[in-house]
A and B are shown apart, each in its own frame.
Chain A
Amino acid sequence: MKLTKYQLFWLLFTMESGMTLLIAIGPVFKEANQGAPMAVLLAGGLSVLMTLIAAKLSLLYPNDTFIEYVPKIVGKWLGYMIIMAYLILWIGVAGIVLRQYADFVQMTLFMRTPVWVIVLFMLFVIIYAVHGGIHIIGRCSEVIGPIIVINLVLFRLLTIKDLRPERLLPLLPAGGLIPVLKGSLPGASFLGESVMIVMLIAFLAEKKRAVSSGLWSVGIAAIVLLNVTLDVLMILDNTVPAKLQYPVYAVSQYISVMEFIQNLDILLVVGTCFSVFIKICLYMFMASYGTARLFHMQKWRNMLWITGLSVLAVALYPGNVDVTQVNFPHFWKNVVLPIFLFGIPLLLWVIGIARKYLKQTDAKAP
């Protein structure tokens, strides 16, 4: 299982651009209001920083995945605890994202189809892809990523005539910097998922390119998010997006060029499906491969069925959309972002560097 640098780039970019555009923009506007573009810019910067730390951490042990090098850095027992927490987190987020996707698709396309059917069929496709291994997911993303880019460019061109540039000003709202900082967190919590690079660099063929591929993908995803945020701001102004479930969906329905290019929401739905596919594939792979490595199992693919069932259970658990779209993002923003996406990788990196310098202790480590 090998990944090329392009595959890494497309993997991260595709994964970041779908649900982020759909769900993250509303909360950003809710906090930052007029300062939403600034908040997204800040979020982009933060997530690039987080990705850089994660990449540097992985490059300390370029041929090991997260599962293998964490015990080397902090010792066996603490390492296992950290890894367990991450594995549970990955399964959880895969399930919730699957449900978010299912809720969205059910609302827009399949009113009468039960949620479990949508979830199950998506899961089948995902398991099929993950079964092939990380390089298969990588190749999928190389096909899907450009399709998403085409969709984005299409939206960019078609919304131009409805934009009201004067709505961009002032860039910084009267409320000051605090709302902007708060508003950057929902964005950063979505973009920061690229920290999963800690599991991917081990598969990368050219290790030297890891940092640049990772940072470019996150940076471009952030630019895409910024672009769409500007679009939403210039069309819906600064208060309406915060009150809508899916502001981007509203914008896509709003597009009408020459009275016959209309109802383009379907492009958005398809783009979201693709992106979610890659995202859940990645989390499923990381969870299955990680668990197998943790318990020293020979065939990681056998783990896939167990993680698949767990993801299915998580996806079917929530009773309503508030759990997946309000409570979980809230938890993700307040707990996962500071601890799992930022805190732990940073600590590990610092400790890892310290160990590299103190070679004696390094030699004694298991």
Chain B
Amino acid sequence: MLNKCLGVLTAILLLLPLTGCWDRHELNDRLFEFGSGVDRLKDGEIMLTGQFLIPTNSKEGGGGAEKSYLIETGVGKTVSDCLFDMQLKLSRRITRTHRHNIYFGEKMAIAGISDLMDSVTRDPDSRLKSDMWVVKGGTALEFMEISYPLEKLPVIALSKLRNIIGKKTGNSLLELLIEEHVEGSGLTLPAVEILYDPKQRKKTIHVYGRAVLNRKQQLAGYYDSMESAYRLWVTGQTNRVPVTVPLPDGRGTFSVDVRQTKCKVRTKFERDRVEIEVDMKGGAVVLESIPAIDLRNINQLNKFEAELNRHVETAILNVIKKAQQQFKVDVFQFGKAFSRQHPSEWTDLDSGWEQAFSDAKITVNSHVKIRRIGLQGPPPNKP
């Protein structure tokens, strides 16, 4: 009898912890941060900008006249300092589990971002999936203040944009962490800029390309959008590259979309010099041709194909040369490929990879095939 009573009593008592009230996270007390920005102030302090979803407006569906987001800033010496400062202005607890994007102002990127990463990788709420961006020629705050009509939260726009233009996954945080451990490997972050359109009298966002950081995680320069697309082709992280090819003798240009992009990197080590051979492959779809040519003619098609491959070869060679001469860091994961193909030479070379890459002999071979020509043979609108 006593046992039964005790049992019932315990059962009732055990109901209490079931509610889990100790660590309740009421949705009403939360503020979800979807993007954050970091800027460097003059005196070496940093300013953290957060873009938050305003809870009540978010239910009404996107694109309304009312702003569905809130921007708040915090100033301090470290990121947590800034967060605390920011929290002093907000009535709800900042929740960072849903943060997709982190933006760095250009000044911040020039000063170096290595000290900012600690809070990102240490915080259990922070995800490795974050995408980091550099705002070219501007500050993160300026960028985040631009309203974007298509998305409820402007910071989300870039994640989607990036997917559409062909990058497989937006994960520049993880890429940065991995590249940092490969000696001589350059870190890159996607770059975005703010464009002012004087005719429409509005500012808009524009993906510029890729920011290249040196080994100290300071900004070394930029690749524009086309150069970045070629770089992604070489590193195998994109599924489409749009290419516009000028024909020789001023006969006009034609545009193709290269899909199923593949790239094979072969490295050699001969006479103290690294040789890198890059083989590009893909299937192209003709999108547009200015010269009125019937591509149903196999000879013409072969000519186009040869022109396309020649163009791709020089373009990619230029992109790689830019890294060799201007940035002096390897942003193509060639070091990794070399370490895989020649493990013993890699250990000898290791810390010298930056120099070895800058001096390396690069050969690019392109074997892109034109697979489709669209709905027409010769242009129907021209005689």
Contacts and interface: CB of A to CB of B under 8 A. Distances in A.
Contacts of A174: 339, 343-344, 346-347
Interface string A79-114: 000000000000000000000000000011111110
Given A240-B178, A240-B181, A254 B22 contact: no
A254 B124 CA distance: 12
Contact of A253 (B17, B129, B177): B129
B360 to A, nearest CB: 20
Contacts of A166: 340
Given A111-B23, A253-B128, A254-B128, A170 B343 contact: yes
A256 B124 contact: no
Contacts of A254: 127-129, 171, 174
B129 A239 contact: no
Contacts of A251: 128
B169 interface: yes
A261 interface: no
Nearest to A235: B174
B97 interface: yes
B19 to A, nearest CB: 13
Nearest to A109: B23
A183 B124 CA distance: 26
A173 interface: yes
A331 interface: no
B interface: dominant SS: helix
A270 to B, nearest CB: 14
**Range for the number of chain A residues in contact with chain B:** 20 to 34
Nearest to B21: A113
Contacts of B339: 174
Contacts of B346: 174
Contact of B177 (A108, A121, A169, A240): A240
A162 B169 contact: yes
A171 B181 CA distance: 18
Interface in A208-259: 235-237, 239-240, 244, 250-251, 253-254, 256
Interface of B: 17, 22-23, 97, 121, 124, 127-129, 169, 171, 174, 177-178, 181, 339-340, 343-344, 346-347
Interface of A: 107-113, 117, 121, 162, 166, 169-170, 173-175, 235-237, 239-240, 244, 250-251, 253-254, 256, 262-263
30 contacts: A107-B124, A109-B23, A111-B23, A112-B22, A113-B23, A117-B22, A162-B169, A170-B343, A173-B343, A174-B344, A174-B346, A175-B347, A235-B174, A236-B174, A236-B178, A237-B178, A237-B181, A240-B177, A240-B178, A244-B121, A251-B128, A253-B127, A253-B128, A254-B129, A254-B171, A254-B174, A256-B129, A256-B169, A262-B129, A263-B127
